[in-house]
Amino acid sequence: MAEVPILQPGAPGEPTRVIDSETAIAIANTSYTAADVDFMQGMIIHHYQAFLMSEMATSRTNNQTILDLAGRIDISQQDEISFMENWLLDMSQTVPDPSKSNQMHHHKMMGMATPEQMQQLSQSDSTDFDRMYLNLMIKHHEGAIDMVDRLNEYPGSAYDPQLYEFVSDLTNDQAVEIERMNGILIDLSDDPRANLAPGLFDAGVAISNMELIASLKKPVGFFDPDNRLEKGLSNEEDKDEEDEEESSIESSASDQRRPMLSFDNTDMAFSNDLLIAGSYHGFNIYRLEEDGIPKHITSVVCPGGQGDVSVVGNLLILSVQDTRGRLDCGLEGVSPEPSEERFRGLRIFDISNPLMPIQVGAVQTCRGSHTHSVVDGATADGKIIVYNSGTSSVRDQEEMGDCFEDIPGDDRTALFRIDVIEIPISDPSQSKIVNSPTVFADSETGVLAGLWRGGDHGDETQETEITDQCHDITVFPSAKLAAGACSGNGILFDISNPIEPKRIDVVTDIGFAYWHSATFNNDGTKILFTDEWGGGGRPRCRAWDPLDWGANAIYDIENGKLEFRSHFKMPAPQKESENCVAHNGSIIPIPGRDIFVQAWYQGGISVIDFTDSSNPIEIAYFDRGPYLEDELIPGGFWSVYYYEGAIYGTEIQRGIDVLKLTPSDHITANEIEAANDAFPAIGSKRLFNPQQQIPMTWPGNPDVALAYIDQLIRDNAIEEKTAENLIDKLGQAKITMETETGGSRRLARQIKGFDLPSKELDIDQRTRDRIIRLDTTLKTIAEDLQN
């Protein structure tokens, strides 16, 4: 039987030719695209710049680690350039000459250093050269990986076996080398938090202007005793004996699967002397002793994640989002098929007896409950109003009939909404969704997807998620405001009518990947938003990560508008084995200042002064080393909150830590005491819910007055003699008020008679406010002494 001829058509108008089977196979094995050629030509120029940077090392530094690194890069870049040149020649394509300055200066590619940066590098030396070389080379390597990613987006690209193997190896090798360079940068850091020793309960510790009061391990039943960390296995003990190709720590972490029943600690709430710590596995209740140290009293197993908690009176509200959650809190999970047993939404528990919580209500929602916010409670008619933020997939309609996916033209979709839930205190079983406002809709067209549509903001900017949900909504009821951290946008809401929140203003940030949480200052005049770049499970505080990515963004509220002032990011470089990004925190109520304590996962805890919105500074910190040296186990601090004089942190894998501030150049003993004296201005005097901010107020006592005086001294806004006399009289007043039942009219007159400085010089509004508040406090003290 005659063989069927194999044909290869020509271009339009050109004849078709017959080819043999060997030629046909050769064509299949060596096919390439224009994108392949562009990539190889560009990568030659890209590699050549890395070669030039590495050549500088021998004359600019004597750091042997840098010299060894530069030598390896020098050799590898030349070898790879040679491969790429030969590949282009085999394909009969033009081989560029990278030494030509016009190509070096005008060929714009990802990660390339500018001519100015190259000149600055060539003129630097010693440690300055080391740091700049590493930062430029890391960016350069990242650019090469991005170029590969972009190549792979083209249909049919990298089909040639040699090219495919080359780009695959390039991606892996560059990622591994980036991690090595991050380690070298950490070694060059002077920050005590850099390069801490690993361990679960014996990790290295760095602490500044704080003291660790207590560390509580997770209760029995809330950790897996067979977990590698609990067994104390190191990387080496658990490693496969066989030689494997080296891969980056982050890519290895991406390949890991987490167990169905996760035991991660999550958020906290406080009510009177109770601390409730949420978990993906349920929640734990602790009673706070007189010294503030928690004593564990109750464990409630009710899996479903994420376990964020709030308390109103005797009711505990718990967020549940995972598809495995069951209405009956069972451990067996639920079939993927539609099921009446599945629960995703808000659970409500009666904790009037904290030793025996009882589930008394449950509100099913279309996308579960990732977080929630207590907006109002209780109202005049005895109801609690809660905003619910679901961020998971939309339920099947067979399971919940009102749930609709994102179908073009169908405005019933469960996306682009928040849920407003009403909980009757007298009968929580009747709790229900009363509204699902489309808070992201275009105000003119009504299109639901009216805000950020997803994607980057241009070259060298962040990929920002689409705004189809809020992660956190923090309410400030007394000002009738709420701040929404809503995936692709930061939003200021008017909640005068809490059932119908209205957008006042919307902002974006070219460095934000995912708007995660929001915190007002105590006056409700500023908002600090956080960016959870990497989703919380990735290392995003490496030495070379941008300081405005995975950071805080601070805004002033002026005439109902959000005015950007600055970014802040925890400054200590972290290892590749430490997930780190901005996460949850709270205000520390020091009068006259805006102080924020914040969790950074395995980046530890930072205390930040953002009184000057344009110049936030770190004033205290606490950090531990990673769990393992060369493997990323997600963990660290989920939340850190200030409550009645102490800072409490839920550590995802380890348990709960309790810390206190210590006097320093940044915070005085009087300011710490004044913060301890603060209490909510409205409602319950002993309550903290994470996404409900009640302004704090202070008693008119000597501690508070002395705190204001310390601030005026720090700012050189009070005469030294006046300050000394005031401090002396307030010291007497403190002793009198603590030890005597009667007053001291003479001392009262002396304190009331002080002429506070207004210094005829111009003073800023912040100083003026402190003087006014000090004056008010002194008058209150005088009145108390007279009685």
Mean pLDDT by groups of 10 residues along the chain of 787 residues: 82 89 68 89 94 94 95 94 94 89 56 93 95 95 93 87 92 92 94 95 97 96 79 51 58 53 89 97 96 97 93 97 93 91 97 97 96 89 95 92 83 94 97 97 93 92 95 97 98 97 97 97 98 94 93 97 98 95 98 98 98 98 95 95 98 97 98 97 94 96 96 91 92 86 80 72 83 93 88
Give yes or no: residues 306 and 181 share one domain: no
pTM above 0.75, yes or no: yes
Residues 6+ apart with CB under 8 A from 660: 210, 211, 213, 292, 645, 646, 647, 672
Considering Cα of 575, then 578, then 581, then 584, what sign does the dihedral take?
negative
706 lies in some domain: yes
Q: Point out which residues pair with 350 in neighbouring strands.
A: 315, 358
Number of folded domains in the chain?
A: 3
Read off the pLDDT of residues 30-85 as tens digits, 9 standing for 90 and up: 578 899 999 999 999 999 999 999 999 999 999 999 999 999 999 999 999 999 99
Read off the pLDDT of residues 600-637 as tens digits, 9 standing for 90 and up: 999 999 999 999 999 999 999 999 999 999 899 999 99
Contact between residue 641 and residue 585 where contact means Cβ atoms under 8 Å apart: yes
Q: Point out which residues pair with 248 in neighbouring strands.
A: none
Which class for 283: exposed (0-12), middle (13-18), buried (19 or more C-beta within 10 A)? buried
Give yes or no: residues 144 and 227 share one domain: no
Give yes or no: residues 691 and 725 share one domain: no
240 lies in some domain: no
- Distance set, CA 503 to CA 286, 389, 531 (Å): 38, 16, 20
Sheet containing strand 265-271, edge to edge, reads 294-301, 282-288, 274-279, 265-271, 687-688
- Distance set, CA 661 to CA 166, 260, 649, 658, 681 (Å): 54, 38, 14, 11, 23
Give yes or no: residues 108 and 226 share one domain: no
247 lies in some domain: no
397 lies in some domain: yes
Q: What confidence score (pLDDT) does residue 25 get?
A: 73
690 lies in some domain: yes
Give the 3-state secondary structure of residue 418: coil
Last residue of a domain, one of 660, 676, 696: 696
Give yes or no: residues 487 and 511 share one domain: yes
- Amino acid type, 119: Q
Residue of 233, 221, 137, 150 whose CA lies nearest to 180: 137
Last residue of a domain, one of 646, 668, 696: 696
Q: 């890069």: which residue's tokens?
A: 73
Give yes or no: residues 298 and 354 share one domain: yes
Q: What confidence score (pLDDT) does residue 253 get?
A: 56
- How far, in Å, CA of 61 to CA of 475, rounded? 54
Last residue of a domain, one of 696, 729, 760: 696
Q: What confidence score (pLDDT) does residue 237 get?
A: 47
Give yes or no: residues 637 and 580 share one domain: yes
Residues 6+ apart with CB under 8 A from 380: none
Give yes or no: residues 644 and 735 share one domain: no
Give yes or no: residues 142 and 291 share one domain: no
- How far, in Å, CA of 754 to CA of 729, rounded? 10
Give yes or no: residues 390 and 535 share one domain: yes
Side-chain-facing half-sphere of 86: CA atoms under 13 Å: 9
DSSP class of residue 425 equals: T
The parent domain of residue 133 ranges over 26-188
Name the maximum alpha-carbon separation found in the chain.
124
403 lies in some domain: yes
Residue of 362, 364, 481, 497 whose CA lies nearest to 423: 362
Residue of 580, 439, 575 whose CA lies nearest to 500: 439
Residue of 277, 372, 223 whose CA lies nearest to 649: 277
Contact between residue 485 and residue 506 where contact means Cβ atoms under 8 Å apart: no
19 lies in some domain: no
Give yes or no: residues 100 and 212 share one domain: no
Domain containing residue 558: CATH number: 2.130.10.10
Give the 3-state secondary structure of residue 669: helix
Domain containing residue 82: CATH number: 1.20.1260.10
Contact between residue 514 and residue 466 where contact means Cβ atoms under 8 Å apart: no
Output the six-digit token pair for 284. Answer: 């734990």
- How far, in Å, CA of 370 to CA of 183, rounded? 35
539 lies in some domain: yes
Give yes or no: residues 665 and 716 share one domain: no
